[in-house]
């Protein structure tokens, strides 16, 4: 990466970080217990985040949808790998491992 490109990327990161800090401060208001580490890039457990005033409560996305927003129907878009996908992935891995092992152990090669 060229020095000029690196400086540009760093400038963008700094801007986004400052925007993030501003939004958190505005959004959390007086409940935020800011320390020197609050915006350092560290992260915390839910309990520690609550102690720092970064979150109010613990809950799942489903809880927020039902209880806070009042959604009547919740659609789960989580990807679930099917049997055929798992089978073919495992088969491919097994074939690759077997070929790799044979090539590395000096098995006869085609000429």
pLDDT confidence bin for 106, thresholds 50/70/90: low
Q: Please give, one letter per residue, the 3-state secondary structure of the chain.
A: CCHHHHHHHHHHHHHHHHHHHHHHHHHHHHHCCCCCCCCCCCCCCHHHHHHCCCCCCCCCHHHHHHHHHCCCCCCCCCCCCCHHHHHHHHHHHHHHHHHHHHHHCCCCCCC
Domain membership of residue 92 (yes or no) is no
Length of the chain: 111
User: In this structure, is residue 16 part of a structural domain?
Assistant: yes
- pLDDT confidence tier of residue 5, bands split at 50, 70 and 90: very high
Name the band, by pLDDT with cuts 50, 70 and 90, for residue 102.
confident
| Whole-model pTM over 0.85 | no
Residue 74, in any domain of the structure: yes
Number of domains present in the structure of the chain: 1
Residues 6 or more apart whose Cβ sits within 8 Å of residue 38: 32, 52, 54
CB 54 within 8 Å of CB 28: yes
Per the domain annotation, does 90 fall within a domain?
no
Residue 84 lies inside a defined structural domain of this protein: no
Q: Find the domain containing 9 and state its range.
A: 3-78
In contact, 51 and 33? CB cutoff 8 Å:
yes
What are the tens digits of pLDDT across the range 45-90?
999 999 999 999 888 888 888 888 898 888 888 888 889 888 888 8
- Across the range 90-95, mean pLDDT stands at 88
């Amino acid at each position: 990466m060229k020095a000029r490109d690196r400086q540009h990327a760093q400038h963008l990161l700094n801007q986004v970080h400052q925007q993030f800090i501003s939004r958190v401060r505005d959004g959390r208001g007086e409940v935020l217990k800011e320390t020197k580490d609050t915006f350092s890039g560290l992260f915390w457990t839910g309990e520690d985040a609550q102690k720092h005033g970064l979150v109010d409560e613990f809950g799942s996305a489903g809880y927020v949808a039902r209880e806070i927003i009042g959604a009547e129907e919740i659609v789960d878009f989580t990807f679930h790998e099917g049997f055929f996908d798992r089978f073919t992935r495992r088969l491919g891995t097994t074939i690759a491992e077997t070929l790799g092992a044979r090539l590395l152990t000096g098995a006869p090669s085609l000429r």
